[in-house]
Amino acid sequence: MSDVVLYSFRRCPYAMRARMALRYSGVAVNIVEVSLKAKPAQMLALSPKGTVPVLAVAGQVIDESLAIMHWALAQNDPEDWLLKDDPAAQALMAGLLEENDQAFKVHLNRYKYAERYPEQTMEQYRAEGEVFLRRLEELLGQRDYLLADHLSLADVALVPFVRQFAHVDREWFATTPYLRLQQWLERFLASSLFTAIMAKNNPL
């Protein structure tokens, strides 16, 4: 049994990206699947805010998904997800992550749960989220991945949220002009990395 423990929820996009980084880095992890209606006392003792993911390792507690990803990549980053020798790409990556987590996630939540936010229509919330989709589509016009000729932290950190947005109305997403983004998403969802971390009861 690994002494690294990850409290996770299978369908949470934040937990997904943490699990992908941990699996990619090769860190052995004991995954505890959390019921959001009955959160384990051990997790709440480590992180009282009560959200997943939470990583416990060697007396350290990391309870932000991007911080968990960076911790994992600090252990091992064989394919250079951090784009260490490209400062311009690193700056762009930081901007994309901030836009995703601060703005796009808000639009996604309101689009997905539009009945809770009657101030605007579902279509209006979707249109606000599309601003970010168009930016990603433009980046993918230059290559198969967002920032390099291979996966980077940006691809892995963003894909669970794009997936969630696309799955609110799959028929609509399939008819959009975001053809490169559709291909990027489909390729990622079929990858061994994603299918492995989405398998039920499958420790890293």
Question: Quick one: 95 and 173 in the same domain?
Answer: yes
Cα–Cα distance measured from residue 168 to residue 157, given in angstroms and rounded to the nearest whole number:
19
Q: Would you state the structure tokens that stand for residue 28, as one six-digit string?
A: 């052995």
**Does the residue 125 lie in any domain?**
yes
Question: Quick one: 125 and 150 in the same domain?
Answer: yes
Dihedral sign (CA 1, 47, 93, 112):
positive
Q: Could you give the dihedral angle defined by the CA atoms of residues 12, 15, 16 and 22, in that order, rounded to the nearest 10 degrees?
A: -170
Per-residue pLDDT, 201? 61
**Does the residue 72 lie in any domain?**
yes
Decide: 122 and 114 in contact? Cβ < 8 Å.
yes
Q: Which of 47, 78, 109 is the last residue of a domain?
A: 78
**Does the residue 199 lie in any domain?**
no
Per-residue pLDDT, 3? 87
Q: Count of residues for the chain?
A: 204
Amino acid in position 4: V
The total number of structural domains in the chain stands at 2
Question: Quick one: 14 and 61 in the same domain?
Answer: yes
CATH of the domain at 11: 3.40.30.10
Range of the domain at 103: 87-189
Cα–Cα distance measured from residue 45 to residue 39, given in angstroms and rounded to the nearest whole number:
11
Which letter does DSSP use for residue 34 in this model?
P
Question: Quick one: 21 and 111 in the same domain?
Answer: no
Sequential pLDDT tens for the chain (204 residues):
568 999 999 999 999 999 999 999 999 999 999 998 889 999 999 999 999 999 999 889 999 999 999 999 999 999 999 999 999 999 999 999 999 999 999 999 999 999 999 999 999 999 999 999 999 999 999 899 999 999 999 999 999 999 999 999 999 999 999 999 999 999 999 999 999 999 986 544
Q: Which of 46, 78, 110 is the last residue of a domain?
A: 78
